[in-house]
Every structure is written in structure tokens, then in C-alpha cells.
């Protein structure tokens, strides 16, 4: 009986020791698991932080690229506007030059036409004067011949 009782006590102590060891092992495992879980959580948080940081950097690079592109678009638009203004100024100068040359040509043509018109008028006036002069000369000769004839007729009548 004593041996059975000692065996039971031994088994109870052994069972207690096993539970204690098991608890200690579970506690060690639990602590290890808790440490692993903490490290995994920290690693996940670090991944999130790194991802956010990379996204910010990427967004900054993207924003920088976009702003560079926008600046180039504005510069190109300004350059095109300046080129269009220069083209318009050039065309305005060409237009003025063409109008000036046209005016000079018209002035020369007008002067030539005016001179031709004046000479034609002078020639017409000279023809009229010449005709009148010739008519007077012809009339004088006719009158002289007529008067000579009249004298001849008067002289014949007197005979």
C-alpha cells in the first residue's frame, strides 16, 4: 500500500512535472511565437512604410516629369506664338513694301500716261493751229488769185 501510494504520488509529481515542463515549453513556444509574430508585424509595417516611401518618390518623379513636360509645352506654345507674331510682322512688312512698290509703279504709269495725254493734246492743238494756218494761207492765195482775176477782168473790161 505504501508502495502504491508512493507510486501514485510519484506519478502525480511526474504528471505535475510534465505539466510544468509542458507549460514551460508552451510558454517558450508562445513567447517564441509572440516574438515571431511581433517581428512579422514589424516587417509588414516596414513593408507598408517602404511601399509608401517608394510611392511618394515615384509620385515625386512622376510629378517632376509632368511639370517638366508642362513647362516644355508652355515653352513650345510661347515659341510658336512668337514665331506666329514674327511671321505676321514679316507679312505686314512685305505688304507695306508691295503697296509702296505698287504705288511707285502706279505713279510712274500715271506720270507716263499723263505725259502721253499731254503730248497727244499738244499734237492735236498743233494740228488744229497748223490747219488754221494752212487755211489762212490757202485763203490768202485764193483771195490773191481772186483779186488778181478781178483785176484782170476789170482790165479786160476797160479795153
Secondary structure of 10-23 in the HEC alphabet? Answer: HHHHHHHHHHHHHH
- Which carries the bigger pLDDT value, residue 118 or residue 33? 118
pLDDT bin (cut points 50, 70, 90) of residue 124 is: very high
pTM above 0.75, yes or no: no
Tell me the CA distances in angstroms from 147 to 56, 138, 150, 155, one per residue in order: 132, 14, 5, 12
Flag whether pLDDT at 73 surpasses 90.
yes
Q: What is the mean pLDDT of residues 4-24?
A: 86
Using a pLDDT cut of 90, give the percent of the chain over it: 48
Q: What is the dihedral of CA 128, 133, 138, 143, to 10 degrees?
A: 120
Flag whether pLDDT at 130 surpasses 90.
yes
Task: Please give the Cα distance from 135 to 129 (Å, whole number).
Answer: 10
Amino acid at each position: 500500500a505504501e508502495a502504491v501510494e508512493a507510486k501514485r504520488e510519484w506519478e502525480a509529481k511526474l504528471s505535475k512535472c510534465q505539466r510544468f515542463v509542458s507549460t514551460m515549453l508552451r510558454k517558450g513556444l508562445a513567447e517564441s511565437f509572440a516574438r515571431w509574430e511581433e517581428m512579422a508585424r514589424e516587417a509588414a509595417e516596414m513593408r507598408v512604410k517602404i511601399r509608401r516611401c517608394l510611392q511618394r518618390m515615384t509620385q515625386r518623379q512622376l510629378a517632376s516629369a509632368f511639370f517638366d513636360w508642362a513647362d516644355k509645352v508652355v515653352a513650345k506654345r510661347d515659341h510658336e506664338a512668337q514665331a506666329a507674331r514674327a511671321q505676321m510682322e514679316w507679312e505686314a512688312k512685305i505688304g507695306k513694301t508691295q503697296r509702296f512698290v505698287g504705288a511707285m509703279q502706279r505713279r510712274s504709269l500715271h506720270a507716263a500716261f499723263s505725259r502721253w495725254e499731254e503730248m497727244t493734246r499738244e499734237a492735236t492743238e498743233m494740228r488744229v493751229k497748223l490747219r488754221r494756218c494752212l487755211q489762212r494761207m490757202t485763203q490768202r492765195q485764193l483771195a490773191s488769185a481772186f483779186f488778181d482775176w478781178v483785176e484782170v477782168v476789170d482790165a479786160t473790161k476797160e479795153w
